[in-house]
Amino acid sequence: MNSLAPPLLCILETALYVDDLERAAAFYEGVMGLPPLHADGRLRAFNVNGRNVLLLFIRGGTIEPVQTGGGLIPPHDGSGQLHMAFAVTHAALPLWRAHLEGAGIEIEGTSDWQRGGHSLYFRDPDGNLLELAATPGLWEGF
């Protein structure tokens, strides 16, 4: 481990890979309530509470480098059922459960963590595992 590494601020972007951009965008905007930041034929970007960006790419659609006006984005991709977690307050977790169930979203699992956090798990339309994690109490310091 390099103790001389400069500090990091946060994870700015998280990417998921989907089979249908329109269907996925409808889910993340409509069910998850994320405001769109950008949409084109290659990706959709969503604002997560003014702190993070969720990127949705067509699965297999980013395996070639992309030349932008400002430089080159190297290839990337993901397959399978990927996982990501959204942090919520403890008070909001039951509201989210009711919201998801009202939208016909199946809650696949829950977990009560040793540090006092609680999680519930469900899937997006592409099978990615999403977690709503009531924090603090999941990880040390989170």
Rounded Cα gap, residues 17 and 62, in angstroms? 9
User: Considering the entire predicted model, what is its pTM?
Assistant: 0.92
pLDDT digits (tens, 9 = 90+) for 16-72: 999 999 999 999 999 999 999 999 989 999 999 999 999 999 999 999 999 988 999
Q: Selecting from 3.30.420.10, 2.130.10.10, 3.10.180.10, 2.70.70.10, what CATH number does the domain 81-142 have? A: 3.10.180.10
What is the predicted pLDDT for the residue at 103? 96
Look at 77 and 3; give whichever has higher pLDDT. 77
What is the predicted pLDDT for the residue at 9? 86
Whether 18 and 24 have beta carbons less than 8 Å apart is answered as: yes
What is the predicted pLDDT for the residue at 127? 96
Domain boundary assignment for the chain: 7-61, 81-142
Q: Identify the CATH number of the domain defined by range 7-61.
A: 3.10.180.10
Largest Cα–Cα distance in the chain?
Answer: 49
What is the predicted pLDDT for the residue at 29? 97
